[in-house]
């Protein structure tokens, strides 16, 4: 059976309502300096988590199918996104990226890595990758145009760009083009969305700095 991504998105309206826009994003628009905890957390998410997660997924992708796409996307993260964190950290007056991340970030990353290694390619990692990228696209698209602060413009122009949108749509096609079980996909999709919400909630919470 084909996985229906619109249905997955529609079933999680309660989650989107809580983070598009997320109260933390609203705070950031008013005070871009409050983005500092995000820089640390997302740097760890991407550097220590997403890159390895995508490599693990690529290692299980059928060679005639999505291998090249996943490898290119992983390369883009390592070469384009990691420098963004360094640049933004500097522009916000220096964020110590060596500090340990919150347990929300640590558990989100281990959830993704568990999926990539323990479930089969479709049901696990591909659905989760689509969910986290789709969620991020929505979050940053909301912010786009709401502030002229150079750091916010820099970040929203990356995660809500046309290129990023095309990448998310390509992930959607990848998920829809595979044979999958909608119920399992729905479980993975929902858990990923809830982790995404937890990530944003924790930026407002006591576990970060
Ligand atoms: C993404 C991210 C987007 N950077 N951080 C979180 C918490 N969720 C999603 O992923 P990518 O691979 O950086 O575009």
Q: pLDDT tens across 11-29, in order?
A: 999 999 998 999 999 999 9
pLDDT at 125 over 70: yes
Count of alpha carbons within 13 angstroms of residue 69, beta-carbon side: 19
Indicate the pLDDT class of residue 121, thresholds 50, 70 and 90: low
Residue 209 confidence (pLDDT): 47
**Which ligand 1 atom minimizes the distance to the CA of 105?**
7
The CA-atom distances, in angstroms, between 162 and each of 29, 72, 86, 118, 135 are 22, 17, 23, 33, 15
204 phi and psi angles, rounded to 5 deg: -95, -10
> How far away, in angstroms, is 42 Cα from ligand 1 center?
7
Q: How far is the CA of 135 from the centre of ligand 1 (A)?
A: 9
- Distance, CA of 106 to CA of 103 (rounded, Å): 5
Check whether 205 has a pLDDT greater than 90. no
Residue whose CA lies nearest to ligand 1 atom number 14: 133
Note the pLDDT of residue 122.
Answer: 63
Task: Give the separation between CA 183 and CA 173, rounded to whole angstroms.
Answer: 18
pTM of the model: 0.94
Q: Is pLDDT at 206 greater than 70 in this prediction?
A: no
The pLDDT-based confidence of 177 (bands split at 50, 70, 90) is: confident
Kindly report, residue by residue over 55-111, the tens digit of the pLDDT: 999 988 887 778 999 999 999 999 999 999 999 999 999 999 999 999 999 999 999
Ligand 1 center to 201 CA (angstroms)? 15
- pLDDT tens for 26-40 read 999 999 999 999 999
Give me ligand 1 centre to Cα 184, in Å. Answer: 22
Ligand 1 atom with the smallest distance to the CA of 108 is 7
Residue nearest to atom 5 of ligand 1 (CA): 42
Check if 38 has its Cβ closer than 6 Å to any atom of ligand 1.
no
Q: Which atom of ligand 1 lies nearest, measured to the CA of 132?
A: 9
pLDDT band of 144, cuts 50, 70, 90: very high
Regarding the beta carbon of 46 and ligand 1, being less than 6 Å apart is answered: yes
- For residue 180, the CA-to-ligand 1 centroid distance in Å is 24
Q: How far is the CA of 132 from the centre of ligand 1 (A)?
A: 6
Mutate which of 20, 79, 133, 202 for ligand 1? The one with the most ligand atoms within 8 Å of its CB, which is 133
pLDDT band at 129 (very low <50, low <70, confident <90, very high): very high
pLDDT attached to residue 135: 96
CA 169 – ligand 1 centroid, Å: 15
């Amino acid at each position: 059976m084909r996985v229906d991504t619109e249905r997955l998105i529609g079933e999680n309206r309660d989650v989107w309502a809580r983070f598009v826009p997320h109260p933390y994003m609203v705070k950031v628009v008013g005070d871009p300096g409050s983005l500092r905890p995000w820089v640390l957390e997302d740097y760890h998410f991407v550097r220590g988590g997403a890159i390895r997660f995508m490599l693990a997924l690529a290692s299980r992708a059928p060679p005639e199918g999505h291998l090249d796409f996943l490898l290119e996307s992983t390369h883009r993260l390592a070469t384009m996104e990691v420098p963004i964190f360094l640049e933004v950290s500097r522009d916000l007056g220096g964020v110590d990226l060596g500090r340990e991340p919150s347990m929300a970030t640590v558990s989100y990353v281990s959830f993704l890595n568990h999926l990539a290694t323990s479930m089969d390619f479709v049901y696990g990692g591909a659905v989760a990758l689509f969910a986290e990228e789709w969620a991020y696209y929505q979050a940053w698209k909301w912010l786009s145009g709401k502030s002229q602060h150079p750091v916010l413009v820099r970040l929203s122009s990356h995660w809500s760009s046309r290129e990023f949108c095309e990448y998310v749509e390509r992930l959607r096609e990848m998920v829809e083009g595979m044979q999958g079980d909608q119920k399992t996909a729905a479980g993975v999709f929902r858990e990923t969305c809830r982790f995404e919400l937890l990530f944003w909630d924790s930026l407002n919470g006591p576990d970060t700095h």
